[in-house]
Chain A
Amino acid sequence: MAEFTLRLRRYDPESGDAAYWEEHTIDLEPHRSVLEGILQAKNRDDGSIGIRCSCRAAICGSCGVRINGRPDLACHTHLDHAKKHSSDGVIEVEPMGNMPVIKDLIVDMEAVHWKKIRRVTPWLIPKQPVPEREYVVPREAMVDVTQSMACIQCGACVSDCLSMEVDPEFIGPAALAKAYRFVGDPRDDQHFERLQDLAEDPHGIYDCTHCFQCIDACPKGVAPMSQIMRLRRLAGNDFAIEDRNNGERHEAAFVSLVKQYGLLNEAELLPRSYGGDTPLAKFKPSAAAELTSSLPAIAKALLRRKVTPAAVFKPHKLAPADRAEVKRIYETVEGRDERVEFNIYISGRDEDLT
């Protein structure tokens, strides 16, 4: 047994008071979960502490919270681990972000999370004709979609999605991972339509800023951002969907600029994103129109010296030897017959390989 102090964020919507912090001391073995700690406080001291929970084993997805500022399942976080990562030895538990709080640690998932899930047409649109027995599909395909199927809809990724913080309309990591579950399912009849829809939506797959927060947040290894990137690769490379958000062109520009210079050439990135992946892009009328509308962003970049006027004509680049190394990476990856996609159900986690 050990003693731990929990600092819980309390909010009673009926009181008219603002949210506040409240400390509870609990006694449990260090490898017990934060949820067990909260339940001990609830059962022993104060039954009014509000938290959704059910299975206690990280499968029902009820107890998503923020622990020491990071999203996780309360049942999936050990007390000793949480204490170690606290700022002052007190385990801080508060409701998830990006969703309105109903009471204490309980948030309104319907208002945000489920609304977004429904946005991606979250059901199979089966290929016709439906066979009498099962659809015969590659063995690997079903193992592959298991990674997104493993999502328990806990909302941890939604809680800390930075893009959603800036653009609340962003479809978001959980819903897009759900979308991959259909796009990756060979029985679904609408891969192209789904991808086009998600690529054309200004709050769709190209609204993700690649920040990795959702991968860190996910307690089930779903890696939502990886699923979003797979949607992009499918949309851009395999289905050649040129979206009105310039997402596909932006990625292509990114890839070829790094290949060419070993570094990103910011001055070229925007023109190419709008005008197509060629050095002449900046002279295209479509690029000019977009560049004009992006002037505030360009001005900011200039002010912060992310780009300099000189760099437009003389881009910075890596030393030749390093550039050759970068090229070699490109050749290896592009030389493969098939794209290698990371998937814990197929390749395991890094530590599984050792």
Chain B
Amino acid sequence: MIRKKSAKSRPRSTLIVAGLASMTLVLAACGGGSTDSGTSSDGGGGGDSTEVRNAGVIVHAENGEPQSLDPARAEQGEKGERIIDNVYERLVDVGREGPDLIPSLATEVPTLENGLVSEDRLTYTFPLREGVVFHDGTDFTADDVVYSWERIITMNLPEGQAAAIVDSVESMRAVDDFTFEVTIVEPDASFLYSVVLNTVASVVSPEAVEANGGIEADTPSEWMDANMVGTGPYVFGEWKRGESLTMIVNQDYWGENAKSDVRWDVTPEESSRVLALRAGDADIIDISPSNVGDVADVDGVTIFEGGLLLEPIHLGFNMLSDDLPASDTIPTDFFVDKRIRQAFSYAFDYDTYINSFLDGYGARYTAYIPQGVFGYDENAPIYEYDLEKAAELMKQTSYWEDGFVVSVLVQAGEPEFEGVGLLMKDGIELLNPKFRVNVVSQAETQFDDNLGADPVPFALWVKNADPGADPHQFFDPHQHPDGDWGSKHGMRDAYEDPDRIADLIDAGKATVDPADRLEIYSELQQLLYEDPMWVYAAQEGLAYPYRSWLEGFTVNPLWRGPHYEYYTKSNG
């Protein structure tokens, strides 16, 4: 597994831009927003296979395979999440279209209006669906939700997403067989999206868990890593590691049954995936944006253009490391100087990056909200590539005379990330021959190791953000002076007015009224433009080529991958 991912692959969730405009209404009776979950364009010409192959089985040629199928252990954005999404269910879900939450194992989505969210916005009550059966034949009740969530808390695996539940849940209980109640530690406008919709909150069969090793604190379950017993539209089939993974239609599903079985063909090489699609052996393939052109004109292939990933690519400024590479000449507090961060922001060629490294499949975002997430302010200022302004700012510092050398850490084999480092190097070195940027490319495990270290031993690094659906999911880890990166990068000492930033971010989380939230986030986008803690490079676009004989293909902005239950494979 290229762990990548094969083995772990870089988080590349299928969260895409669509009208997430009604995200504000998370608590306030989610009203309908306009939704447009992508456009399709039919290719023409070519002479490749038109006869339906693998009748009744949707074949998805994937570039990797899961690291873990356990909701307690699956990392955000990794392949396991895509399978979990189809085999396990959560209390709420999102449907074919739109960002609005729909009932899943719960029969109603809690809101203030329907009284299922308490006045203090701390307690959520979920009435549950009756007659739901796990794939092992046991009945689903409220106790199973408690069991599944407590399992996450007990196992508390740092590689997974346990923190979503551990950090936000105060207490929970089964009120009766079909009512589940949870109390959270503080009002959180993003709770349903960031916690309840998260794969970590999936409901697993307690019988199956107990029969196969049970729950052990701080320890992964080998059985659950490779087996699944859920309630979803698909039953986990067989996993031939490094080769294929199957999911079978759940004939006892509580909702409408899925139509076709699913097989993942693990195909690490992109050229082979393209050939398999053209031959008709694969119905859906993963592809990098720059290769979409290879299949665009093939007869019988349609390209689903799903907009933009909600996981922006950024370059971070670290202001705390006293352990920089030996070649670096900058002091630890180099980037504490706002002018230098601004100069770096001006010296990055955004258009070239999007047009060449992302092959046009990408767009700019503001500080710090990707397009498609509530609160994105299209009038907020963004940096343009302007070497003169960059030089002007650098001239105000002593480094214009003295020069400097700084290294930027990137992950090897990821052209989208390496490109940011290389263009940053180009821009800065054009300013002044005394400036030097070294691009250090490391394999994923070393890269993750370095980024996990505290302090990070590099002053600059490139990565994408974890995907999110609510602005708070971006501001808190990336911009809050005491947030994950805020404390690791030393933002508190670097921000001109750290308390103002912190107050605004905290207020954004606790505020329910959409208009008030918009105002808060607009101010933040303005402030963070002036005092940038990242170079906000770009959002990557998403495209799925699929065989046109697959009916109903779509990918919702908030799914982690295709939801195969909605697709039908015609038989010719």
Q: Do A and B bind each other?
A: no
Q: Which residues of B contact A (CB under 8 A)?
A: none
Chain A interface residues (CB < 8 Å from chain B): none
